Structure 1
């Protein structure tokens, strides 16, 4: 299996690096069975983040036929400002994702039964604004929940939301919890626990999934 982490202009570095580090450590614990790659829709290139010009290098093109995970981060930038004045706010950066070739590739990934598409923070907003996850259950950063709902997505307030082939996580640091959950789902709790111990990190919050009994109203 392969984990493809999708870079786009204005991405949030922590949304990328946190799951990257967790998944690489998990890969080591399973003998390298999990490949972990930074990719773009365009292929290998240097990608500028939204965090003061920090760059990361993508080594491959996003391949929606490759079994495993496709992980979409959120963006970082100003929360307020006039786009007409050239201010690239987070909503502008996320909306711009929907104008790239990544949309068709992620759509194909969602249609591939061998792929789970995952998002960190505003990554779910990028997919929602591109019309890729209408009617699905998902979470995002708490400041973007209203926008998520307005696009036709059903918000769930949980650290990680498992909606089958779509797994989403809340705020920026939830990328750690997302990646640990993907390791547990794919390789079992012992692998995820080994990474937790290596990182001296304890997972936070609840993983919600559409299973089990419905809670009764109080």
Structure 2
């Protein structure tokens, strides 16, 4: 059965938030993956990688899955009514409404998380409650047809989870094997609970400016 996936691409997107699930979805049989934006001009990710949208909002075909990735560009999206209207409209029609990392904050700004369990990057997790969500820890959190993923690399686990829902476990496992996804990280520092205290503190300082901007934005909007 043909499947249609749509991933939002936007200036200052965190590229792995986007490209991790893209790789999973595009590796499935009979799948078409669209990169969605207002126009077809290339956009630059937060780490400098240029990405080219393939479909505009106006020309977006029916989707089985809409995914909103995160990144520093999320701050602008939370104030962009054109984007929020597109997400709201799409949410009413897709089989699964999804996000990776801080993309869930965009779903929240669109009013789509109220009373629903959701997750996001650990450094933004406490913001979820402001949108009426039920903040839930986990690399992948499902609430009905809403599937949200934690920070950045969880987009791989998320992609496989969504693929298993749509195509079955065997197809998801085949994609996992084809990509040789068998992580063995060299350090146990991937979560705030496992990272050494000094590394956690350093990382919090490193992310402080972005978090402060997001805090100011939400406060100014009464969220």
Query: TM-score, normalising length from structure 1?
Result: 0.77
Kindly indicate whether residue 29 of structure 2 is the aligned counterpart of residue 49 of structure 1: no
Structure 2 residue aligned with 1:39: 36
Kindly indicate whether residue 72 of structure 2 is the aligned counterpart of residue 70 of structure 1: no
Q: After superposition, give the CA deviation of every residue in 1:54-111 in whole Å (9 maximum; x if it has no partner).
A: 2100010136761311111001xxxxxxxxxxxxxx3xx3231023312111101211
Structure 1 residue aligned with 2:98: 118
Question: How much is the aligned-residue C-alpha RMSD, in angstroms?
Answer: 1.9
Query: TM-score, normalising length from structure 2?
Result: 0.75
Match of 1:165 among 135, 145, 163: 145
**Structure 1 unaligned regions, length at least 5:** 76-89, 205-218
Give matches, 1:128-143, under 5 Å.
128-143=108-123
1:177·1:203 contact (CA, 8 Å) conserved in 2?
no
**Structure 2 unaligned regions, length at least 5:** 185-223
Give matches, 1:1-218, under 5 Å.
1-26=3-28, 30=29, 33-40=30-37, 42-51=38-47, 53-62=48-57, 66-75=62-71, 90=72, 93-100=73-80, 101-112=82-93, 114-202=94-182
1:64·1:108 contact (CA, 8 Å) conserved in 2?
no
